[in-house]
Amino acid sequence: MKLITEIMEEKALPIVDKIYNDGFIQGLINADLSYEAVEHYLKADALYLENFSDIYAILLAKSNDKDEKNFFLDQINFVLNEEIAAHKNLADYVGRDYQEIIKGGEWYPSADHYIKHMYYNAFAFGMAEALSAMAPCPWIYKMVARKILANHNLAEDHPLKFWVEFYADGLVDVVLTEYYKIINREAEFMSEEGKQRLIKNFLESCEHERRFFNMSYTQERWELEV
């Protein structure tokens, strides 16, 4: 019998190809992605990652296992202090200071919807539901980055090679292994309805990932402003 996480990934594979073929990733591969798209992405993703770390803190409080708590602590540190390296690579591509770019950050519609999807599952349900909504973030980035490396021999001086290699790194597998261990463990005691909710969460977040990239590529804004 397949694990619930194997079912999640199988069902989500088609969207990996769609994200790969969309404008944002193709622009990144060809190093002709507009500076406006990159800045839009950074403004949104900086806020997204801050809140992603806050959701880790919620899960840390929910857990009764010391190893899990340490995992969540490590991930908070990674998201806040290490993933910034990938962001700075994008800022270097634009030719602007990273902090100057993100100080104008805001919640654009697609990013706003995505983070609320995660918060809802963290507060309304258990750890497995929250992690099933969070897992597509590392999973999509890993899959797309590795697809880029499999299909393209990026030159050493490619301005965004670091970004690709950062997310293709094996560290992402370590993170997902811990996610999936918790999800599969909790799924064993769930009803069929609960298991379907996990799959639905994962697939919805994969779609949110695609919308996030497209949001940046088109510089999506709210139509009505306060």
Q: Where are the domains of the chain?
A: 4-218
Whole-angstrom Cα distance, residue 26 to residue 33?
8
Helix (H, G, I), strand (E, B) or coil at 103: coil
pLDDT digits (tens, 9 = 90+) for 163-183: 999 999 999 999 999 999 999
Mean per-residue pLDDT, 120-132: 97
For the chain, give the mean pLDDT.
97
DSSP string, 5-50: HHHHHHHHHHHHHHHHHSHHHHHHHHT---HHHHHHHHHHHHHHHH
Question: Among all residues, which ones are annotated catalytic?
Answer: 137, 209
pLDDT of residue 226: 66
Whole-angstrom Cα distance, residue 210 to residue 22?
9
Superfamily of domain 4-218: Heme oxygenase-like (1.20.910.10)
Whole-angstrom Cα distance, residue 189 to residue 52?
26
